Each structure stands twice: as C-alpha cells, then as structure tokens.
A and B are shown apart, each in its own frame.
Chain A
Amino acid sequence: MSGKFNSNSAVMNFPRRDSQDKLRGRTKYTVDMENSDVLHAALLRAEIPSARLISIDTSEAKKMPGVKAIATHLDAPGLHGIGISDHPIFAGDVVRYHGEPIAAVAALTKAQAEAAAAAIKVTFEQDDAVLTMEDALSIDAPLVHPDWENYEILFDGAARGGNIAWEATVQRGDTNAAFCRDDVTIVEGCYRVGRQSHVPFEPRAVVASFEDGRYHIQTSTQVPWTVRHVTAKVLGIPEAQVQVTVPAVGGGFGLKFDCSLEPYAAILAKKSGRSVSLYNSRREEQMTCLCRENAEIRLRSAVTKEGEIVGREATVLMDCGAYGGEQVFLTSMTAHTLGGNYKLGSVRISSRAIYTNTPPNGAFRACNGVYNTFALERHTDEICSAIGMDQIEFRRRNVIGNGDIGATGQVFEGDVLRPMLEQLLEKYPIGDTQEVLPDGRLFGRATTVGTWFIFVGPSAATVNLNADGSATLVTSGVEIGSGTMMQSLPQMVAASLGLHPSDVIVKTADTDASGRDLGVGGGRTTVSIGAASMAACEEVREKLLSVASQMLQTKAEDLVLKNGRIEIKDRPGSGATIQTVAQQAELDFGPISGSGAFTNPGVKAMPGCASGHFIEAIDIPVFAVHDCEVAVDPDTGHVEVLSYRIIQDVGRALNPRAIHGQIQGGIVQGLGYALQEEITINADGAFDQTGFETYRLPLAGDVLPIDFELFEGAPSCGPLGTKGAGEVPILNVGASIACAVANATGKAVSELPLTPPRVLALLDDDGYTGLSLTHISSEWHKNTLGRTSSY
C-alpha cells in the first residue's frame, strides 16, 4: 500500500493542535464534563490491610444530608481480572489491602458524600497480613486468596498456587549441561527494586450517567474498551449497555490502562438517576496508584572465557499486590527482557506474580522491562568483571542480531542493536576515563543496551471523506499526551489521501462510534491504530480514484493524490480537487468512507519453550542503547548525572520533534526511578508517600537535556516502517545509572533507587554486605511450582 503514494510526505514536524489550549488551561478534562445536575461521589476505603468483614451498616449514612445513593459489594457481584477473575470492585467478605473500597456514596456535594462515607459503620475482624513477597512465599503464610482455586481462568496454561497468582516459565536447551561444563565461569546476582508512581497531572476521574437503559461513562482512560468490558462484567450486565467516551486526558503513563473508578460512578448513577462525578484527590491517587511493581530477581549465568553465554537461569518475583492485574500479563515480558538483549545458548526463566496484602500494582511505561533491564545490565557487567572482559566488547560480541534466537526461540530479523551500539560509540567515543574528578567526586560512565516490544493486537479505524474535501478519522485511540492522535495519525492519513494533516479531523474515542481496540499503551497506537487507519485510507483511495478515473478519463494507476487534488501523474495542476471528486462520488454512489482493521501478524516462538505466556514471541521488538556519565559524592552518596545520550530504534520517525519530546520526558521519568522515586509500604500496609512532600518527581533543575539520535530502518510490520517511540525511552535509564554508579564506585549496585543513603551505604567498605534474596533459591527449579521437569 505504501508503494502507491510517497510515504515521505508523512514525515514532518507537524505541530500539535491541542498544545495552545493545554498550555493556557482551556482544555476540558473529565471533571469539566460535570453538568449542573451532577452528584458527587466519595469512596469509603479500608484502613487495614487484611480483615474479614462482618457487617457494613449504611443505615445512618443514608439519612445524612444530601445523600442520594450508596453502593456496596451487593451492587457489583462480578469479579474481573487479567488471566484470572480474582478482583471484586468492593470488598465484600474480605479486605485484602489498605485502601480497598468498601462502599461508594453519591450526594449533592463532595463534602456531603465524604461525610456520609465516614458515617458507614463497618465491623470486621483483623487478619494477619502478608506485606512482602518473602512473607507471602513462606511455608506458613496466610493466603491472600484462600479460594484461589475457584476463580474463573481467563487464559490457560500458567501454573498457580496459594500466594503465587501466576507463574510463567521458559525452558530452552539444556541449562543443566551448560552449567556443568568445565570451561565456564558461573556468575550469580540478586537485584531488587521498589514501586514507582506514575503521577499524571490529571488524577483518575469519571462522570457517569444512566439514560435510556444504558450507561454513559465519560472517563480519563487509556482503554475505553476495557472500561466497557470490565464495567459490564462487574455489574453483571451486557457490554452493549455501556458507552464509554473519553474527554481530554491529562497524562496516563499506564496508570489509566485499567478500569478503575468507572464502575462505582456507573452504579451510583443508576441508583440515583443522576449523573455522578467521582475523582481521586491527589492523596487518594497516590495511595491507590497502580504502581510499577516492586520486584526481586535472581540471575545465574554460565559464561565461557570468550564471553559466550552458554546457560542462563532467571527467577523474577513481581509483587502484584492484592489482585493479579497487569502483573499476571507482565510475567510474559520477563522472557523478552531478562532473556533479551543477548544470545543465550540455553535458558530457563521463572516469572512469578505474587499476591500480597498491599495495594494492587499495574502497568507503567515499559513496565517490568525497566527493572529487568536494570538487573540484566548490572548482571552483564558483573559477568564482564568475572571473566575479565571489557563491558563494550562483551556487548559487541553478544547482542542479538539477524537470525539469532531469543529466549523463547523466536528468530530475530535484522542487525539492529550492534549498529546502534557502534553509532553511539562513534558519536561519543570512550575517552580517557577519569576515576576521580577534580572536586573529589567519583566518576563513572556506562553504556547499556535494552530490548522491549511494541504491544500490537487488534485495532479498527473508519475514515470518512467529507464533501468539503476534509477527512474524519474515527478510532478508539486516546490522546494521552504523547501526541500520537494529534500528529502521527493525521500525518499518515493525510499522506495517504493527499491532504494536509490539518485537514484530518481526529474523532475522540467513543465506543458507540468506533471499533474495538486494545487501548493506548505499549507504544501501540502509531503501529496498530495507524495500520488500521492506513487500511481504511486504502479503501477511500480506491473509491476516490475510481471516481476520478471516470471524471478525468485517465487510468487510476496514472493518478496521484497530492496537495488536496487528484492529478495526472507528472502533470502538476491537472485533474480535480479532492472536494470535487468527493462531491461527484456522492452523486454516483454516496459519500466515500473506508474501514480498516489490524491485528498482529503473530511471530512464532519455538514450540514447547514457553508456558503461561500471553506473548510467546514479540511481533515488533524495539531496541535502545543508552549511555551516561555520573559523579558520585563519596561523602554524602549523592549522584549527579553529568551527561545522558541515547540511540533509539524507532523504525521510522514520522515526527522527529514529537519523538524528541518523548525521549526527553521518558529519560527524566527514568531518572526519577533510578535516583529518587520509591513508594514504600508501612506496617499498616499503606503507602508512606502520599504527596509531593514525600514523593518528589524530578524537576527541571534536577535533570539535564538528553542527547539523542534516532536509528531508522530496522524491520517492522508497522505502517510505513514505524515502531512506537513513546514508551521505550525509559527502558534502560535505571540500568545505565546503576551501571555508571557501579563503575564509579567499584561496588555491586543491586537496588534502585540510588538514593544518597543507599549509595553511601554501598561505599562503606565495612558495612556493605550485598543483597542476598534467600527466598529465591539458587537452584532454579525450586522457584517453580514443579510443572517443569527438575533435573
């Protein structure tokens, strides 16, 4: 399809049409959709991490001023989840985390709703809580879900048991034999990371109503179809009764990749007969953030003195909190990240989502890829130390290239990582490394590689060619800030139809108007919705060209769409405007429209390698090379980042300026993760960091401009050769900072974030003992539920 028009015309720095209003505060977000009739809702949340509920008495609360409706678990019988249906929206018999909703109240004012929620009488018996994965895996641990065996399974093939919500395993080749070879060095390391909070400017918010027998949900979400599905499922109603529309979204980063507040507002709207608005205060948003999960990792590798990795064993524990959620899905991604980057002779991986009595975790920009890359790159540098090989040389020899196979046996296409590495080293040669700067600080540099994927899957698009010569693109895509809906999609449609992007109207998501979509996340919008849009454009082009062919008495293949006109090839100014052709089409057969669809091609893994994986092979791998220099203050442990530069694989850059913004923002978010951001859980099972005084994102003064180059031309099934570019910049920031700090200090950096106290402790020669995760066995098969053969 791309051969029929000049795809270079899709490449431009087209400015965002939403930027002026966003900058000037004129954009209408979900809370601005409140009408004069709206009720305000508040949630009653548990303030203990684990309990059996004995009674919920709403009788006093119902009599409170202004109260119009109260909902509890009796109003929402269904369970939802990913892989397993384990998640009710209200605690009914059991409280499983601090902050879990017990009841929802709608009243005339927010203050009245909050007062009534506080007046609901709950009696309970407190149970022992498991707050850490180590506790959850101990032999006598209380079960977060005692009836885990009775849950509906939505995706087959995983091992489950007790507090192990999900276990995905990979076994390729004979690792046992590899580790027994007498020519290998065995390197083992443990790594640990905390939780990271997304902190979008706009907290989660919803306005719901019930009209004409259907629910209308206006919400700040990345996944309108998930909201539609989950709301219907937990309410026990047909999905067709739910319409989801999405006003402007003030940032998501993955936090809004799950259904959250919507069902509460929907239930209250039906019960009260009024529109209901529910939004999180910043404190609630932080308290119930679906964080990037805390995780614990053990890696073992058998490596020859030439640097060949003949065997690798990996175990990852991912804390999913009280419910499985995204972590169940994300267990799949361990194979492609911890098992990624490098050629492996044999490999076995156990990737486990663990239940704890803590707030559920979720998806966050590049998800577990961020910490798996941290662990893998630190482990790689430890391998280099153990075998005495230069860190760059090791990567040159081992990065995955054309024809190499990944952990699950998929065959990779194209040499990408190695040329990217060379491109970086050419631009920023390794100079004389200073070990100590003139001011006494320790200097370190590191170059890391990373592998992630573009999440693809089904998307649909419709393109209407209007009689005025403009086009309307109808999809379920949501503009969450990356600019995809404002830039790359109208650019692609415009290039295909010979229009200017400003002539392409992009409809905001409405599940009543647009086809199904997996949602905006995983860098998939440009690729998946883009491909569906291009397919829709192809139908529009064919119709336009057939009409024009008649009008101009010229064969369709001799016509080009360009500058709003259909011209005869090589005869500029000939032909007719698209508007004229569109109007002729209305007379011939009616208005022109086209529909298109996309789904992933389904790259194959090696049969039998992976079990419990939602994604056995990645359709569009995406690679990154990062490099940074740091200075470590040996007296305080403070780390300053002196330079940061990256080469990013983007397939093809449609809007380089937009990608630059994503790179700068993604690296900054990664620097926060690497150096200062962490959610910790106190003895009550609640988050310690409930506001900006305790949880601080990097500010402009904390960060630096990022140097970058884009790597174009890597194979991709994306339209025009694109890959998603917005998610991946964060991928190896934690890895690069950690490796640079390790190089600066000569110490084993095993944990993030590298706060000053943590770095100072590393530097203490007597005090630092390293990290040993005794609840993850050195014997790999002990970290599985035994479905896999143990040698």
Chain B
Amino acid sequence: MYSFDYERPSGVNEAVSAIREDDKFLAGGQTLLPTLKLRLAQADKLIDLSGIAELKGISVSESEVSIGAMTRHVDVANSADVKSAIPALAYLASHIGDAQVRNRGTIGGSISNNDPAADYPAALVGLGATVHTNKRSISAEDFFVDLFETALEEDELVTKVTFPVPEKAGYAKFPNPASRFALTGVFVAQTAQGVRVAVTGAGPCVFRQTDMEAALSSNFSADAVSGIKTEASGLSADIHASADYRANLISVMAARAVQAAS
C-alpha cells in the first residue's frame, strides 16, 4: 500500500468540496482497500464517508424503497421493511460476498465501483431504480455505463437509491466459488411498466435481456425463459468460466429467478 492522506467529513457538501484529482471516496472499502493494499490503485487522499449521517438509512413507502448510499448490505438484508416491500432485494443483499463484506460494504460503494460481477446492479436495472447524487437523479440504466464505469462525475457522490416497489420480483445467481461474486446473476421483476430482466456477471456491464422480457410479458413462468438462449459473443470469459457457460447460466438463472419471484 502506498501512503495517502485521510479525511472524514461529516456532510455531503464538505465531502465533495474536499475531493481533488487522484483522491478517492471511501465507502465500505471492500474493493478499494484490497486494491490499495495490492498497489493496484493509488490515492493521494481517501475521503471517508462513514461520518456522514445523512447517507445512511432505509425508508419504505407503499410505492418506493429508498436506501441511503452508506447503508450496509447487512442492513438491507435484515430490514423487515425491505423484506416486506421487495423481498428479492433483501435476498440479493443477503447473498453479496461473505459476512465480512456484508458487514462493511455499502450500496453506494458497490454501484459506484460498478464491478461487472456485483449483485446490486442487477437489482437497480431489474427494478428500474433511480440513483440520486448530490447533483441530480439518474436512471439505473443510464448510471451503469461500462466495465467499472458509471455516469458519475469526479465530484459527484451517490446519496441514495430509490426502488419502485414491483408487483413481484426474484433474483437468482450462480456464485463464483472463490469470490462469491456473481458468475451470473439474473434479476427478474414484474412492474407496473412491464417485465424487466437484468443480468449481471455475464458481461462487462449489467444489461437487460429483452428477449426474456418479451417472453415473460405474455407468460410469466420459468418455462417461458428456460429455452431462451443468449448470444455468447460479447459475454465475459475468464479463468472461472467461458462465455458459453455464462450464456447457459443466464437461461438457468432467469428461470430460477422467475420461480423464486414473490
């Protein structure tokens, strides 16, 4: 680890005005700290967001679940309100990484990093969520741009994410046995605006599987999607699995997500 400065502001404005080029916001640190330790990343200064009370917490209304950026995965997983409004979202949070990651990692940190195999992007895109920053509101689909790339500007900070409550939703993932990241995860939701199917882990960035959305719109059942293939070209291939294997998993996990939907 290279040396760096450290700052722990107590408000969002203070945090964004403190950031300079080559500084980094520190949320739960579950990606940033290991990469710093391995010297894969370097920062002049870390701006620790853990002292900003307004970024934490969950509020649930009849139509919407709102989660503060610095809310930990374990808090989402254990929230009775989230479990009741969007059970699939609580389920997804309860399967991120391992217990240590869930006890430190945050939704804002996860989505700002936009790891291609992270779980949360599937929920955001699958539910048609909105990402709120200190500057604006961004639809989930516009927020996730590409591999480790989001719509965020340098001095822009995620403050919360709002999820419209769906009619029903389900999430199924096949975890990488090493990291517990999603080798492929599929989030399926039946919403007032139609059916949405979001896939994470399989490609460089979360994406919607529109063939499956069309099939589920007319018949919301596992059988409707289990036979729909996804083109393997463009999917990820690495030491853990080939693109073909991931393509197969999309069909299998989509069917299981539909089956699990509630």
Mark A residues whose CB is within 8 Å of B. 283, 635-636, 638, 675-676, 680, 688-689, 691-696, 699, 702, 755-757, 760
Contacts and interface: CB of A to CB of B under 8 A. Distances in A.
B174 A756 contact: yes
Nearest to A637: B245
Contacts of B241: 756-757
A757 B174 CA distance: 12
B6 to A, nearest CB: 19
B245 A680 contact: no
Nearest to A678: B239
B69 interface: no
- Residue among B177, B241, B245 having the largest count of chain A Cβ atoms under 10 Å: B177
Contacts of B174: 636, 638, 756
A676 B176 CA distance: 10
A760 B38 contact: no
A233 to B, nearest CB: 35
- Residue among A635, A692, A693, A695 having the largest count of chain B Cβ atoms under 10 Å: A635
Contact of A757 (B34, B38, B179, B245): B245
B178 A696 contact: yes
B248 interface: yes
A693 B242 contact: no
B111 interface: no
Nearest to B226: A635
A693 B239 CA distance: 12
B216 interface: no
Contacts of B26: none
Interface in B229-262: 239-242, 245, 248-249, 252
A694 B239 contact: yes
Given A636-B174, A694-B240, A696-B176, 7 more contacts: A635-B248, A635-B252, A675-B177, A688-B239, A693-B179, A694-B239, A757-B242
B178 A692 contact: yes
B239 A636 contact: no
A422 B228 CA distance: 50
Nearest to A698: B177
A324 to B, nearest CB: 28
Interface in B158-204: 174, 176-179
29 contacts: A283-B38, A635-B248, A636-B174, A636-B249, A638-B174, A675-B177, A676-B178, A680-B239, A688-B239, A689-B239, A691-B38, A692-B178, A693-B34, A693-B178, A693-B179, A694-B178, A694-B179, A694-B239, A694-B240, A696-B176, A696-B178, A696-B179, A699-B98, A756-B174, A756-B177, A757-B240, A757-B241, A757-B245, A760-B245
A696 B245 contact: no
A676 B177 contact: yes
B192 to A, nearest CB: 31
Contacts of A760: 245, 248
A760 B60 CA distance: 42
A326 B75 CA distance: 50
B95 to A, nearest CB: 12
A695 B38 CA distance: 16
B239 to A, nearest CB: 5
Interface residues on B, range: 10 to 19
A702 B245 contact: no
Q: Which 7 A-B pairs have the closest CB atoms?
A: A696-B178, A635-B252, A757-B245, A676-B177, A693-B179, A688-B239, A757-B241
A696 B177 contact: yes
A755 B239 CA distance: 11
B41 to A, nearest CB: 15
A272 B260 CA distance: 66
Interface of B is mostly: loop
B177 A702 contact: yes
B225 to A, nearest CB: 13
A388 to B, nearest CB: 35
A688 B239 CA distance: 8
A87 B14 CA distance: 59
Nearest to B248: A760
Contacts of A692: 178
Nearest to A767: B244
Contacts of A755: 177
A636 B179 contact: no
A17 B34 CA distance: 35
Nearest to B251: A635
Nearest to B245: A757
Contacts of A756: 174, 177, 241, 245
A691 B179 CA distance: 10
A75 B176 CA distance: 45
B202 to A, nearest CB: 13
A694 B177 CA distance: 9
B77 to A, nearest CB: 16
A636 B178 contact: no
A691 B34 CA distance: 11
A635 B240 CA distance: 17
Interface in B45-59: none
Interface string B6-45: 0000000000000000000000000000100010000000
A696 B175 CA distance: 12
B177 A636 contact: no
B252 A636 contact: yes
Given A757-B241, A757-B242, A695 B252 contact: no
B105 to A, nearest CB: 14
A757 B177 CA distance: 12
Contacts of A691: 38
Contacts of A696: 176-179
B241 to A, nearest CB: 5
Contacts of B249: 636
Contacts of A635: 248, 252
A500 to B, nearest CB: 41
A688 B240 CA distance: 11
A638 B252 CA distance: 12
A695 B245 contact: no
A695 B248 contact: no
A680 B238 CA distance: 12
A755 B174 CA distance: 12
Nearest to B239: A688
Contacts of A638: 174
Contact of A695 (B34, B98, B178): B178
Contacts of A688: 239
B262 to A, nearest CB: 19
B103 to A, nearest CB: 16
B248 to A, nearest CB: 7
A693 B37 CA distance: 14
A691 B249 CA distance: 25
A695 B179 CA distance: 8
B147 to A, nearest CB: 17
Nearest to B256: A635
Nearest to A753: B177
A69 to B, nearest CB: 25
A693 B31 CA distance: 11
A222 B91 CA distance: 46
Contacts of A689: 239
Interface in B69-103: 98
A149 to B, nearest CB: 38
A693 B252 CA distance: 24
Contacts of B176: 696
A323 B152 CA distance: 51
B179 to A, nearest CB: 5
Contacts of A676: 177-178
A757 B238 CA distance: 12
Nearest to B246: A757
Contacts of A680: 239
A419 to B, nearest CB: 37
A680 B177 CA distance: 16
Contacts of B34: 693
A339 to B, nearest CB: 34
Nearest to A283: B38
A230 to B, nearest CB: 31
A755 B175 CA distance: 12
A326 B69 CA distance: 53
Contacts of A283: 38
